[in-house]
Amino acid sequence: MRGRGAVTDVAHHLFSPLGLRGVTLANRVVVSPMQQYMADDDGAPNAFHAQHYGRLGLGGAGLVFTEALAISPEARVTRHDLGVWSDDHVDALTQIAGAIARGGAIPATQLIHAGRKGSVSRPWEGYAPLDAQSVDAPWMTVAASASPANPGWHTPQALDEAGLARVLADYEAGARRAAAAGFRALNIHAAHGYLLHSFLSPLSNQRDDRWGGDFEGRARLTLSVAQAVRAVWPADLPLFVRLSCVDDQQGGWTMDDSIELSRRLLALGVDVIDCSSGGLGERTTTRLVRRPEGYQVPYAERIRRETGGRTMAVGLIATPAFAEGVVAQGRADLVAIGREALMNPHWPLHAARALGHDPTFARWPPSWGWWLDKRARAAAAPAAEK
């Protein structure tokens, strides 16, 4: 019979701790950044966010990311994205970070500039470009080059040197505010067709200046952002970068590109490469695409093997046994869950029980944990005692 907080003698890699700079994660389960599109018009969180992130903090994950925070009003995907472009956001974000931490998880957040994929309606409202007839007013989008993200979408303005300088300054300011709000890990979103990805990919970057052309030019903005953020983000706190490891289109960004970029990011002080994919091809935001579980894990595995850096696997990871295997087999250091956490905020705690490993019941609120402990002891008792 297992007592309170007891652990079986089976090795459990998914629920082993991991140190990242001055932060120790209780386990390798991460709640991935997921846009909610529920913010007020000023980019501030509201009662929905307090409840949403409070529940995720209680769920047993070692690290919980909020949705991405826009670094400027024009950096938003929709009018309802959370923001970090003003000092006025810090107090409310502090409450969100605190709610996650009180649940037992390390609070984390992500910085985003949507680039040419901004100024659209929310997914359940059509995920279409805003126009004069929209409830929300449109705004000018920017990108590496003046080409739209999808047919019929806004044509973005190609960023000039002054605009690029503003972007770098906005990332720095956003990182400072995220630290002031109490977040203890930070992720730079350089994937899914947003601004930084639009510079990385030759499919979306047709520039012939120092910010385009060959790999060196196309990678310059992402590396510059990482360097600028690392300089202001506290030295004892970890920094992640999310990449679309492949465009999966002819002539696009490749795994070899991602490996080389990852080497350079790690050398600048990035601690974890967050391995996703896609975002420049066929629109998938408003419909689900059937893919196998963990279809992006090979990207994390290869970058980890070839760079020696830490990686995070993400993408349709749904079952505890699969997640355990990813870490146990050395395919990634961290496993991020998304949709599963939305459907079941306590997925990590249920996963621990499914794998035969209970973290200390302190990770459950005591009003739940005592009952679960009692049920577990009753199930383990000999038949005569029942």
For this structure, is 194 an active site residue? Answer: yes
Check 37, 53, 194, 299 and give the catalytic one: 194
Q: What is the rounded radius of gyration, in angstroms, for the C-alpha atoms of the chain?
A: 21
Cα distance between residue 381 and residue 167, in whole Å: 62
Cα distance between residue 246 and residue 263, in whole Å: 16
Cα distance between residue 105 and residue 25, in whole Å: 8
Cα distance between residue 190 and residue 274, in whole Å: 10
The 3-state DSSP class for residue 324 equals helix
Q: What are phi and psi of 337, to 5 degrees?
A: -110, 150
Q: At what angle do helices 47-58 and 90-102 cross, to 10 degrees?
A: 30
Tokens of 386: 């029942």
Which sign, positive or negative, has the C-alpha torsion 355, 359, 360, 362? negative
Catalytic site positions: 194
